[in-house]
Chains A and B, each alone.
Chain A
Amino acid sequence: MTKQLLVVENLEAGYGEMQVLWGISLSVAERGISAVLGPNGAGKTTLLRAVAGIIRPWSGRITFSGEDVTLSPPHVKVGKGLVLVPEGRHLFPELSVEENLLLGAYTKLGRYNLEESLDLVYSVFPRLKERREQRAGTLSGGEQQMLAIGRALMARPTLLMLDEPSQGLAPKIAIEILDILQRLRGEWGLSILLVEQNIVKSLEIADYAYVIEQGRVVLEGEPEELSKKGDLIKAYLGI
């Protein structure tokens, strides 16, 4: 069995009185891509926020590289290499492309490898290099998403979590972004936890997938298995 980098067990979380996650268990293998699929409001974003530490899990356990990080604050997790690309990108629109990237190297690991990381990010996203002086707010949607991923890479993650990276992008660009994720796994040895709406493409690049609904995992398995249960996926995801 492959070694698991991230293991989430019976995670429960929510906002105020409202419980969103009702005992979610999932894992991401080393150099693996796990996809989380589900309809709107299923708790996908909440799941990533809880794993990243932005909201505090109510119960359950999160293990990263064999270490219990359930209650670690986000900056500690980023320092350990568990990095989230938040939904909606959250760039600094007034800053240039390169300044946004440099801010990504805020962690110790990021600072020590600054030049090297910048070269690596530019080699993955040559478009960002062309536009390094440009203000981030003036980039196209696809380029902004590339910048958001590039900025996360500057922290030198071992596990990258992405919240709907293809959101609001033209289908062609969306597929380009998801292809890049596969490249990152191959070339950087990254592990990826991907939350996506683009189900077909996600199942293509992932080696394991979870379907969640109303805060629970209702279906899981390798993409080929899941694809065979076509009618089930259809029932849950409406495709």
Chain B
Amino acid sequence: MTVIDWFALRTSLKRAAPALALYTILLILYFAVPGKSQLIAQILFYAVLGQAFNIFMGMTGYVDFGYVAFLAAGAYGFSIAILLLSGVGGGWMFIPLGLLIAAIIAASLAGLVGAIALRLRGAYFAIATIGVNEGLRYLVEGLNILGGSIGLYIVKDMKELVGREGYQLAATTLADMLMFLLAGVAVLTTSLILSTRMGFALQAIREDEDAARALGINVTKYKIAAFMISGVLGGALGALNWALKGGVVEPAQVFLILYTVEAIVIVMLGGAGTLLGPIFGALIYIGLNFTSNVYIAPVLESAGIKATGLHLIILAPILLAVIIAAPQGLVGAIRSRAPSRLREIVV
């Protein structure tokens, strides 16, 4: 269709507004609160992780346990671009080119995995995707490709491309700003999907895939499309977070299944299928993490108790409580109890 659906565009902007406002507040805090910019950046990383993951899990109900593989694909894709440019030059071009290659690799991986694994349902899909993640990791490590188990170090190459000071900027403020931009893109993509036929199709699939099929919805097409969109956003996130910001892409880190679990936790805490859910989820998760590591753990340690990973122990009962008391997450719970005026805002 060549005609732009203005109605869908307007609805989606209206839907996206509250989430975009929250990210703007985070952006202001990033510059306004001295010494806490990296805490904000961490919240941002997890919010975007949840946002990107949510497009697929929240809308289709499928849980991709190998989701972090897309982040890895993006991180490697970005690094490949840098290695290609290194020695050739190209300066700042490495960022758009890196993101492009990251997106292409993540999209191809999603298309390939989706076309096979999306024929499975429920737990079988989850197991198959874990297999993909672990398989890719052992492929990289075992065949010793892309730096093998040591990984790729690209700091030197980035410095060659844009100079020492350029790199300093790229790996700090610029990387974080691009992450904010990615957050906006993820929110707008989600709200646009929710406001179009694709959103309705995906929600029908989530509620009852057989019914969706009987209605004449091409379920495979929409599932793969959502999987690819979610994968591309994940790829961009991995590229920004590990390759650009970290300068190191090592398999032990980028294939770490913990990130997938964290994405699930954040989406469940905040509310699956909602726009604000991942932001709230990330705030709670990082808030808890920060409080326990900075305030509680030192007290315990001074008493002789080692308290690494304390936040996970606190998080477990909270997550259980949320699943029992508010299975639709924080945003879902607010939405179902709020008066209808407010309900429109909290989508």
| Chain A residues with a Cβ under 8 A of chain B | 52, 54, 73-75, 77-79, 83-86, 90-92, 94, 103-104, 106-107, 110, 151-152, 155
Contact = CB atoms under 8 A, between A and B. Distances in A.
A86 B204 CA distance: 15
A176 to B, nearest CB: 23
B88 interface: no
Contacts of B116: none
Contacts of A106: 197, 200-201, 204, 215-217
A155 B210 contact: no
Interface string B261-290: 000000000000000000000000000000
Given A90-B208, A94-B207, A103-B204, A151 B213 contact: no
26 contacts: A52-B214, A73-B220, A74-B214, A74-B216, A75-B217, A75-B218, A78-B214, A78-B215, A83-B214, A83-B216, A86-B210, A86-B214, A90-B211, A91-B211, A92-B208, A94-B207, A103-B200, A106-B197, A106-B200, A106-B201, A106-B215, A106-B216, A107-B216, A110-B216, A151-B215, A155-B215
B208 A54 contact: no
A163 B213 CA distance: 15
Given A86-B214, A90-B214, 10 more contacts: A54-B214, A74-B213, A75-B217, A78-B214, A90-B211, A92-B207, A92-B211, A106-B216, A107-B215, A107-B216
Contacts of A52: 214
A92 B215 CA distance: 12
Given A103-B204, A106-B201, A152 B211 contact: no
B121 to A, nearest CB: 13
Contact of B213 (A54, A92, A107): A54
Nearest to B221: A75
Contacts of B207: 92, 94
Contacts of B204: 92, 103, 106
Interface string B181-224: 00000000000000001001100100110110111111110000
Residues of A contacting B: mostly: mixed
B111 to A, nearest CB: 18
Which 5 A-B pairs rank lowest in CB-CB distance, beginning with the nearest?
Answer: A78-B216, A90-B211, A75-B218, A107-B216, A106-B215
Contacts of A107: 215-216
Nearest to A78: B216
Contacts of A151: 215
Contacts of B218: 73, 75
Residue of B197, B204, B213, B220 most packed against chain A (CB within 10 A): B213
Nearest to B215: A106
A85 B211 CA distance: 9
A86 B213 CA distance: 10
A74 B200 CA distance: 18
A202 B217 CA distance: 30
B194 to A, nearest CB: 15
A110 B224 CA distance: 24
Contacts of A85: 214
Contacts of A90: 208, 210-211, 214
A85 B197 CA distance: 22
Contact of B211 (A79, A86, A94, A155): A86
Contacts of B214: 52, 54, 74, 78, 83-86, 90, 152
Residue of A79, A92, A107, A151 most packed against chain B (CB within 10 A): A92
Nearest to B218: A75
Given A90-B211, A94-B207, A155 B216 contact: yes
Nearest to A111: B197
Interface in B151-206: 197, 200-201, 204
Contacts of B217: 75, 106
A37 B220 CA distance: 32
Residue of B208, B215, B218 most packed against chain A (CB within 10 A): B215
A44 B204 CA distance: 26
A74 B218 CA distance: 8
A53 to B, nearest CB: 8
Interface in B324-340: none
Residue of B200, B214, B219, B220 most packed against chain A (CB within 10 A): B214
Contacts of A92: 204, 207-208, 211
A229 to B, nearest CB: 34
B291 to A, nearest CB: 36
A151 B215 CA distance: 8
Given A92-B204, A92-B207, A92-B208, A79 B216 contact: yes
A107 B201 CA distance: 11
